[in-house]
């Protein structure tokens, strides 16, 4: 199974400041079809997860442009350019290149 | 509007069985793969199983193989998860999810809580 490792596990951030979350996979996430199925999800307290970014860097419609994804191969990053109060929650990366699909441990974003 | 509504959760003893359901609406149910994901209390997300549009392919995480069965009824727009030989570590909120525009999923239900305890 592909192991997904997120860092940090907790990220206290000041409002208006940037935040960055790293996600590393134990093997390349490039699928045989040429796509890299690395997605980012946000889970606010008491809510189901919500998709933010798909295939590494594509923002879902309706997701604020302060969220961006980047990376390739085994190394990926989610960045929030200026954290807002509504961004509090847990962020997960997930690889959907190889079954079983696997999630990172989650990164808890909180306001300082 | 896409809607996924899970039901069937509850308290069950170790070794017992439970059948979860997910009622779908707002999209052409028979055209998409469907997935179950779970989340133990205070823990992260775990992909459990998925099923192809026509039910001909099913995949499971190792920890549930031989105990859980995913199925679907396209005529009733419903997804199921039959769980047997339940263990304490199966205690979780179970979400159903579908990938309509984004693989593997871009819509989630609210989840149903399964508690395995004596």
Measure Cα distances from B116 to A15, A69, B42, B106 in Å.
Answer: 40, 38, 16, 29
**CB atoms B106 and A101 under 8 Å:** no
Question: Could you tell me the two tokens for B68?
Answer: 């859980």
**Tokens standing for residue B19:** 């059948």
Cβ neighbors of B45 (< 8 A, separation 6 or more) are A41, A43, A49, A92, A94, A103, A106, B37, B38, B39
**How many percent of chain A have pLDDT more than 70?**
100
A76 touches chain B (CB under 8 A): no
Contacts of A90 by beta carbon, 8 Å cutoff, 6+ apart: A42, A43, A106, A107, A108, A109, B44
Check residue A65 and give its pLDDT: 96
Confidence band of A99 (pLDDT split at 50, 70, 90) = very high
Phi, psi of B7 (to 5 degrees): -155, 170
Q: Do A50 and B108 touch (CB under 8 A)?
A: yes
Whether A9 and chain B come into contact, CB under 8 Å, resolves to: no
All residues of chain B having their beta carbon less than 8 Å from the beta carbon of residue A101 are 47, 50, 104
pLDDT band for A33, please (50, 70, 90 cuts): very high
Cβ distance of A103 and B46 shorter than 8 Å = yes
B78-116 confidence digits (pLDDT tens): 999 999 999 999 999 999 999 999 999 999 999 999 999
Contacts of B61 in chain A (CB under 8 A): 100
Chain B residue numbers with beta carbons less than 8 Å from the beta carbon of A39 are 102
Q: Does A56 touch chain B (CB under 8 A)?
A: no
Determine the residue among A3, A23, A100, A102 to mutate to test chain B binding: the one whose Cβ has the most chain B Cβ atoms within 10 Å: A100
∠ CA B114-B117-B118, rounded to 5° = 145
Q: Is the CB of A63 inside 8 Å of chain B's CB atoms?
A: no
What confidence tens digit (pLDDT) does each residue in B3-49 have? 999 999 999 999 999 999 999 999 999 999 999 999 999 999 999 99
Interchain CB contact of A50 with B (< 8 Å): yes
Q: For residue A43, what are the CA distances in angstroms to A20, A24, A48, A88, A90?
A: 16, 20, 6, 9, 5
């Amino acid at each position: 199974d592909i192991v997904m490792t997120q860092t940090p596990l907790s990220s206290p951030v000041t409002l208006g400041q940037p935040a960055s979350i790293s996600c590393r996979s134990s093997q390349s996430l490039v699928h045989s079809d040429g796509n890299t199925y690395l997605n980012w999800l946000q889970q606010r307290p008491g809510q189901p997860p919500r998709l933010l970014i798909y295939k590494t860097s594509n923002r879902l419609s309706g997701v604020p442009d302060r969220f961006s994804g980047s990376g390739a191969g085994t190394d990926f990053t989610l960045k929030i350019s200026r954290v807002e109060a509504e961004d509090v929650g847990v962020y997960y990366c997930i690889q959907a290149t190889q079954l079983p699909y696997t999630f990172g441990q989650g990164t808890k974003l909180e306001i300082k | 509007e896409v809607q996924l509504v899970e039901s069937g959760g509850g308290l069950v003893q170790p070794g017992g069985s439970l059948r979860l359901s997910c009622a779908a609406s707002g999209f052409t149910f028979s055209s998409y793969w469907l997935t179950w994901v779970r989340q133990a209390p205070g823990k992260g997300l775990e992909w459990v199983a998925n099923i192809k549009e026509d039910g001909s392919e099913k995949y499971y995480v190792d920890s549930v193989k031989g105990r859980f069965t995913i199925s679907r009824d396209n005529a009733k727009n419903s997804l199921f998860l039959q769980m047997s030989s339940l263990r304490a570590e199966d205690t979780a909120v179970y979400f159903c999810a579908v990938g309509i525009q984004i693989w593997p999923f871009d819509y989630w239900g609210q989840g149903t809580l399964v508690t395995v305890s004596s």
